[in-house]
Structure 1
Amino acid sequence: MSRTTLDTAALAHDLRLAVMRFSRRLRNQRVDSSVTLTHLAALSTLKHHGPMSPGELAAHERVQPPSMTRVVVALEGMSLVTRRPHPTDGRQVIIDLTPAADDLLAAEARAREAWLSGRLQELTAEERTVLREAAAIMDKLASG
């Protein structure tokens, strides 16, 4: 195996672990722990893609429809989503966010960004510059 291949494999290993640890720390900066990460993911998908049927939401989240049905029932019980009739298919419903869900998502984002901002302030200007460049590179990796 070539030196370049070994270096790339080592970088892939180190980067994977660092991203996992970072992601775990960021996810732990929670406002409301009664709302699970699965719930937040579903709410975020609705925020990003707009109202949709439970089946569409399940497809976006890559879970089975019965699992998403349980998530939707829980979110509805917490007054975070509403159901309304589907405009063209009377057998289906459309799931949409409530203002409380919008508020929760905003509060969750603020909490994570406040934590991250505090951690970034602990770094040198040079380290923040490197991270800014790394963020662009990671975006490039994620989109490819």
Structure 2
Amino acid sequence: MINLSARVFERRMAEALAPLGLSPAYLPVIFTLSATGPATQAELARSAEIEQPTMALTLRRMERDEIIYRVPDETDGRRAIVHLTSRAEELVPQVESIADDINSRAFDGLPAGSSAQLIDLLTRAAANLTQRPVE
């Protein structure tokens, strides 16, 4: 059921983000950079819990779509610091609103407090699997 829910959420998010020229895969990067400011590719991969090659591909697409830009790291020339473009920064409130709306629709009709409980339980389940991967 978790996989089914995730696929439906992602499909709805993709439909809602398409007019903005965004993909659901961009959201971890957009939300992280919006909340914490510029970061390296490695930091973004860690925060999104995805592999470096996947993050590299996502960032290339985001750069192509003018969502992010990179600046060489002054302290380490091998790294680049990833920033949101001004266009992306302007889109953040719309993206947050879209995400809130989709979450609201998903939890419509559920008992009061159950959405917070579900999120808490899923957060704990993810933490359990992160701390103790399946062998």
Question: Smaller-chain TM-score range?
Answer: 0.5 to 0.7
**Identical aligned pairs, as a percentage?**
23
CA distance in 2, matches of 1:141, 1:83: 36
Q: Does 1:56 align with 2:43?
A: yes
Q: CA deviation at 1:58?
A: 1.8
TM-score by length of 1: 0.63
- 2: CA distance between counterparts of 1:20 and 1:79? 27
Aligned to 1:5: none
Q: How many corresponding residue pairs?
A: 122
Of residues 88-97 and 65-74 in structure 1, the stretch that sits farther from structure 2 once superposed is 65-74
SS class of match (2:17): coil
Give the alignment of 1:13-92 within 5 angstroms. 16=2, 19-20=5-6, 23-24=9-10, 26-32=12-18, 34-92=21-79
Choose the corresponding residue for 1:110, options 73, 97, 103: 97
Distance 1:97 1:51 in 2: 8
Give unmatched runs, 5+ long, in structure 1: 1-12
Runs of 4+ in 1 over 3 A off after TM superposition: 16-22, 111-117
Which residue in 2 is equivalent to 1:139?
119
Partner AA of 1:136 in structure 2: A
Cα RMSD (Å): 3.0
Q: CA 1:115–1:44 in 2, change beyond 3 Å: closer, same or farther? A: closer
Instruction: Find the residue that maps to 1:32 and give its secondary structure.
Output: helix
The separation in 2 between residues aligned to 1:100 and 1:60, in whole angstroms, is 23
- 2:102 and 2:81 map into 1 onto residues whose CA distance is 35
Contact 1:26 1:112 in 2 (8 A): no
Gaps of 5+ in 2: 125-135
Q: Return closer, same or farther for 1:57/1:29 CA change in 2, 3 Å cut-off.
A: same
Query: Over alpha carbons, which structure has the higher Rg?
Result: 1
Alpha-carbon separation, structure 2, partners of 1:32 and 1:64: 25
Change (3 A) 1:60 1:17: closer
